[in-house]
């Protein structure tokens, strides 16, 4: 099974969410080997869930782009996993933009993974090569068994130039050594409709994390079809 994850990042207004799903719904062709995950910003998650139900798209589920490292409680501004667990199956955590702009630490990210597991939401943990081992080591042992990892080389994100497939394979093989054998490892960084099949074809890569190319529903549907 391959995961194709749309990370909208901090983009789109409320009315654009409906348009995205309508357009995507028209062009999307489900494939049995692909699980599509759409991760809109927090304020849109419940509307997106309603819309998905209405469209009844096969093999498409929802995710969030982050989650609080804390449970419910006095944590002003935080979104606890319990608030969204009814409608999302996945949560991206530890994205390099969260690390860079919000100064998230390995331990905070490990706490997020723990929160997700307690709520039954599958974490998609983003890592880059220099710290993958340390980040994985910060997780609780029991959290290693239910995890998706996304390898995202910093220089490839949003740059238009994905990492060379040989290098992706080398790093993915290295990351796999720190993980249980069954852990899916995704690649992310400037994946587009015309190169998606190359990255999904790398042995050991079980999916793709898509930023820029997921903002356009037609492009994302094409990517999912061609990958």
Q: Among all residues, which ones are annotated catalytic?
A: 95, 152
Q: How far is the CB of 97 from ligand PGA (least distance, A)?
A: 7
**Separation between Cα atoms, residue 178 and residue 175, nearest integer Å:** 6
Beta bridge partners of 91: 64, 123
Q: By three-state DSSP, how is residue 179 classified?
A: coil
Q: How far is the CB of 92 from ligand PGA (least distance, A)?
A: 8
Residue nearest ligand PGA, CB atom distance: 211
Applying CB under 6 A, the residues found at the interface with ligand PGA are 7, 152, 157-158, 188-191, 209-213
The minimum distance between CB 160 and ligand PGA, in angstroms, equals 8
56: left (phi over 0), alpha (psi -120 to 50) or beta: left
Minimum CB distance to ligand PGA smaller for 48 or for 210: 210
By beta-carbon proximity to ligand PGA, the closer residue of 20 and 83 is 20
Rounded to whole angstroms, the Cα distance separating 223 from 165 reads 17
Rank residues 175 and 210 by Cβ distance to ligand PGA and give the closer one: 210
Q: Closest CB to ligand PGA among 123 and 212?
A: 212
Measure Cα distances from 213 to 65, 86, 132, 157, 182 in Å: 16, 27, 25, 11, 28
How crowded is the C-beta side of 28, counted as CA atoms within 13 Å?
Answer: 26
Taking the C-alpha atoms of residue 66 and residue 132, their distance in angstroms, rounded to an integer, is 18
User: To the nearest whole angstrom, how small is the minimum distance from the Cβ of residue 71 to ligand PGA?
Assistant: 27
């Amino acid at each position: 099974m391959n995961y194709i994850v749309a990370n909208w990042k901090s983009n789109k207004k409320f009315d654009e969410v409906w348009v995205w799903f309508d357009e995507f719904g028209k062009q999307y062709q489900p494939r049995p080997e692909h699980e599509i995950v759409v991760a809109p910003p927090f304020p849109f998650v419940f509307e997106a869930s309603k819309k998905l139900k209405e469209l009844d798209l096969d093999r498409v589920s929802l995710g969030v782009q982050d989650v609080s490292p804390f449970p419910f409680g006095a944590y002003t501004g935080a979104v606890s996993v319990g608030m969204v667990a009814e409608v999302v199956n996945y949560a991206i955590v530890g994205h390099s933009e969260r690390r860079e702009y919000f100064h998230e630490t390995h331990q905070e990210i490990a706490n997020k993974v723990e929160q997700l597991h307690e709520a039954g939401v599958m974490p998609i943990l983003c890592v880059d090569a220099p710290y993958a081992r340390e980040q994985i080591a910060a997780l609780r042992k029991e959290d290693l068994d239910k995890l998706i990892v996304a390898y995202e080389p910093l220089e490839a994100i949003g740059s238009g130039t994905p990492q060379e497939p040989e290098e992706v394979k080398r790093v993915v093989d290295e990351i796999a050594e720190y993980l249980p054998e069954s852990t899916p490892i995704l690649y992310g960084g400037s994946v587009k409709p015309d190169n998606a099949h190359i990255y999904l074809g790398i042995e050991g890569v079980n999916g793709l994390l898509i930023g820029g190319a997921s903002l356009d529903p037609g492009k994302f549907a094409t990517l999912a079809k061609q990958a």
